[in-house]
Amino acid sequence: MFLILFSVGLTTLIAYLTRHIYTYWQRKGFPYYNPNIPFGCLNSFRKGKRSFGMSIYDVYKNATADKFIGIYLMFRPALVIRDAELARDILVNNFNSFHDRGVYVDEVKDPFSANLFSLPGHKWKALRGKLAPFFTPVKLRAMFPTIKSIALRMVEHLDESFGRQNNEEIVVVEMKGLFSRFVTEVIGSVVFGLDIDSFKDPNNAFHKITESYRFPSMIFSIRNAAQMLCPQFEKLFIYFGFKHDHAEFMTDIVRQTVEHRENNNVIRRDIMQMLIQLRNTGEVNEDENYWKIDTSKKDDNSKSMSIESIASSAFLFYLAGYETSATAAAYAIFELAKNPEIREKLEMDIENNLERGKLTYEGMQNMKYLDMCFMETLRKYPALPLLNRQCTQDYPIPGTNKIIEKGTPIVISVLGLHRDAKYFPDPLKFDPERFLESNQNNDTKAYMPFGEGPRHCIAQQMGKLIVKVAVINILRNYNLEAVEEGEINFDALTVTINPKAGINVKLSKKII
């Protein structure tokens, strides 16, 4: 009898709680997406058909009139923003009410997780202030020769593949894979200070980590999504000892590099050098020519950052940089292959801004059409299809009687905004001229491929530089021809908008 009463009571309680959770938006009077219990709007994500970013894009597209719409991320009510002005209010004007991302972080049990992307509030602000000097134009100019020389190696590698295919004049190249190797090598070099040869040694350890993000297993992809959807879930994994292997691997690499540089007074113009400066003195020297390391403090405890902490920052730069930059470069080449008129104009822009036939950092700043092509690529294919924040204090939505409650996750569909004809007419058309200053054919408020506000991409200029150097080197050396004409299908398991079947383009060597 007791068992029956207990079961009935439990069932009633679960039914009550479920109803309570899944009527949250209804009770608050917000427009909402019909909840599909328990996966909310993520049913196609659960079935492995759509990525998380694409599921949110579907919500954006299907709700045609509302500026915001309530959804459920499993058991968490979250708000999808469908309006550029409101998105800017959240990201920029009212940053104080939305300064955190609300993703998984556990400084005590998993110090490796405490990075710039995940840290909340004051801790984020303090770290952002320390890392921002890494990405000034002065520092980027110092890294430019390394990026350029890796691009030349990429071209040498491609040239060899012509030889391998019996000197055939046309070779089909999968551009996403090619640029993944290029960016792995760039970031391995300018962030970690390692000389990886990604082209000759495709199975290097870095590339293996890259591949686990590019071709994730279902478990890996669920864990990734859980870091945002349900941070407590990841805490459980860590509590039971399921750490990510790469934390140890990265920390070891960084420890060895730091010891080697300190013991041998090595000077390199890269991010690792700045991380060591920061660890040893609490600041980065902003002088273009000062790259020395102060080794006067020997004791680890007297230093301002632990080895784990600089390893965690370096790994975040790698993660945040490689996939975004590689996809952007691949989509740019895909569109340039399909649009010969745009390509010719871009080739002219590049040639006109070389200095005595050479690519220079300064010359690149004058390539205005290149910049427009880059902007249009990230408009049509924003590498990160969504931005997320957590409401950190109750926020009344301007012009309405609705209040976003503290703790609510906010999701901004960048892909939705960028492909909304209201902001960018004929959104599937690749049209760099949208970004001509004199052209009113777009709404710049809705353009945010690097995010917006104080928490926007810290390395935006570095990302641009890497992608542009890659594209310039392909265009200067090869003629392009499209293999596929239609639109690209996106992968269902990755966080970025990754091409499901790669991006194949025909290349033939230019006779210079």
Task: Report the interface residues with ligand HEM, using CB under 6 A.
Answer: 116-117, 128, 316-317, 320-321, 324-325, 328, 378, 383-384, 387, 449-452, 455-459, 462-463, 467
Nearer to ligand HEM, 25 or 144 (CB): 144
CB of 449 to ligand HEM, least distance (A): 5
CA distance 233 to 223: 8
Nearer to ligand HEM, 28 or 456 (CB): 456
The encoded tokens of residue 146 equal: 């390394």
CA angle 464, 465, 469 (to 5 degrees): 120
Nearer to ligand HEM, 431 or 452 (CB): 452
CB of 328 to ligand HEM, least distance (A): 4
CB of 116 to ligand HEM, least distance (A): 5
Nearer to ligand HEM, 32 or 110 (CB): 110
Nearer to ligand HEM, 52 or 450 (CB): 450
Are 408 and 391 in contact by the 8 Å Cβ rule? The answer is yes
CB of 182 to ligand HEM, least distance (A): 12
CA distance 26 to 34: 10
CB of 31 to ligand HEM, least distance (A): 24
CB of 308 to ligand HEM, least distance (A): 17
Nearer to ligand HEM, 32 or 225 (CB): 225
Residue type, 356: R
> Could you tell me how many residues make up the chain?
512
CB of 14 to ligand HEM, least distance (A): 36
How many Å is the Cα radius of gyration of the chain? 24
The encoded tokens of residue 21 equal: 């959770």
Distance of CA 459 to the CA centre of its chain: 10
Nearer to ligand HEM, 39 or 361 (CB): 361
Nearer to ligand HEM, 25 or 364 (CB): 364
Give the helix/strand (H/E) hosting 489. Answer: none
By the 10 Å C-beta count (0-12 exposed, 13-18 middle, 19+ buried), 102 is classed as: buried
3-state secondary structure of 362: helix
Are 98 and 91 in contact by the 8 Å Cβ rule? The answer is yes
CB of 464 to ligand HEM, least distance (A): 7
- CB atoms under 10 Å from CB of 483, counted, come to 14
CA distance 115 to 310: 9
Residue 9 contacts by C-beta under 8 Å, 6 or more apart in sequence? none
Nearer to ligand HEM, 179 or 478 (CB): 179
- CB atoms under 10 Å from CB of 300, counted, come to 9
Nearest residue relative to ligand HEM (C-beta): 451
| Biggest CA-to-CA distance, the chain | 92
CB of 452 to ligand HEM, least distance (A): 6
What are 504's strand-pairing partners? 174
